[in-house]
Structure formats: C-alpha cells, structure tokens
Amino acid sequence: MEKTREPLQTSSAPVSFRNYDLVMAAFVAILLLSNVIGASKRSFVDLPWLGEWSFGAGVLFFPISYVIGDVLTEVYGYARARRVIWTGFAALAFMAFMSWVVVSLPPAEGWPFQSDYENVFGNSWRIVLASITAFWAGEFANSYVLARMKVWTRGRMLWSRTIGSTVVGQGLDSLIFYPLAFWGLAGWPPEQLWQVVLSQWFIKTMWEALLTPVTYLVVGTLKRSEGVDLYDTDTDFSPFARS
C-alpha cells in the first residue's frame, strides 16, 4: 500500500494518472536509444595532469533514464516504477532478439550494407546479457534507495535521495555492465576497463547532480498535476511482486 501525504492528498487516490504513460514512454525511448547508439563505443577526453581518460559514449544520454526513474519513484511510488522497469527490461530483450533476427537474415544479392548492420546491431551475447542485467539491477537498486530515503527524510531534501540513489544504482550498473561485456576482449585491457567503469560512475552521478534543478521542476509539476505525493511506507519491494 502507498500512503498519500498532505497537502496534496485527495479524497480518493486516482485510479489512473494523466502523465504516467508519457513518463513511461520517455523512459523506454531513452533506454533503447542509448543502448543502440552509444553502449559499446569507447571515447576519451584529455584531462589536465591525468592525460587521456576513457569513457563509454552512452554515458552522455543514458543517465537521463535514471533521472526519469527518479521522477517515477518520487511521484508515482515504487510499485509503479517497478512496472516501468519491467517494461524497459522487456523492450531491451525484444530489441536484442529483433537485432539478432535482422542481422542473421541473409542479405539480398547486391545489397552492400550487411557488414554495416553487423557492426551496428550485431552485439555479442555478452554485451546483450551485460546490458540487460546491469539495467535490471541498477534500476531496481536506484528505485529502492530513493523510495526508502523518501520515507526516512519525510519527503525533504529531494536532491539527497536523487543523487544518493544514483550513486548506488549507476555504480551497480557500471560495475556489472563493463566487466561482464568486455572483460578479456582485445582492445579492453583491465586497467582501461576499470578506468571506464569509474568514469561512467562519476559522469553519471555528475549528470544527476547537474540535472537536479530540472528534476525539481518536473517532480513539482507532476505532483501538482496528478494531485498526489506517494510514500512507500508499506510497499512490497520485491522486484517480482505484483504491482
């Protein structure tokens, strides 16, 4: 059960929400696009005193999905965020299956782009497994920490729980994805792999901190629009519980 607090309490909790489906769609869209376009590309920046520092290109946009995940849990509660996480998980799994089917189909004679398709969409089973596993674990950890911290802080200091949950969730995501996907592969020496893990964790957390004003704006707007402020005081936090 989810508890509603004043002054946004309504006479009865709404059966449906005005914007929940839109937030879910935005979450899934960013999740899929960031995994298709930027997940496996390694880039770098030159830092003073440190020299060349590697990072995964997907870090530029993927953290937005965590911001939306924070908004979902903060506004709609853990149970509804859980539904969205499972929806994203299913979308990632189907995307991996569709990519495998399309890449595996024999190209028509004279069609010159098969190698391009294989390079872009032909992810190995390791990358697919790593991506789905890291997403699942990281998102559920993020949502759980934020929901718990909201109760502990009694709804105050939104910034502390959005950033705190991201430290845990994004850290777990990076720690699972890169070693599981690339450990032992040519072009990924161990020292560079851990450098990417740490840089991903740091950059994702900094993204969350920089987007805090946007998070405050979106959360406030949605709470006023929906007329609720949900607290997970008696929620079953199992990822497999029925919403």
Q: Quick: pLDDT tens for 45-77.
A: 787 877 776 666 666 777 788 889 999 999 999
What is residue 243's predicted lDDT score, i.e. its pLDDT?
A: 62
Q: Is residue 238 part of a domain?
A: no
Yes or no: say if 130 and 169 are a contact pair by the CB < 8 Å rule.
no
Contacts for 159 with CB less than 8 Å, ≥ 6 apart: 212, 216
Tell me the CA distances in angstroms from 24 to 27, 63, 217, one per residue in order: 5, 15, 18
Q: Is residue 239 part of a domain?
A: no
Domain at 26, CATH number: 1.10.1760
Compute the average pLDDT of residues 178-205: 84
pTM: 0.85
Domain with 117 in it: 3-231
Q: Is residue 220 part of a domain?
A: yes
Give tens-digit pLDDT for 111-150: 999 888 887 777 778 888 988 999 999 999 999 999 999 9
Q: Is residue 240 part of a domain?
A: no
What is residue 134's predicted lDDT score, i.e. its pLDDT?
A: 93
Per the model's pLDDT, the better-predicted residue between 114 and 11 turns out to be 114
Give tens-digit pLDDT for 67-103: 899 999 999 999 999 999 999 999 999 988 998 998 8
What is residue 32's predicted lDDT score, i.e. its pLDDT?
A: 87
Q: Computed from CA positions of residues 17, 18, 23, 28, in that sequence, does the dihedral angle turn out positive or negative?
A: positive
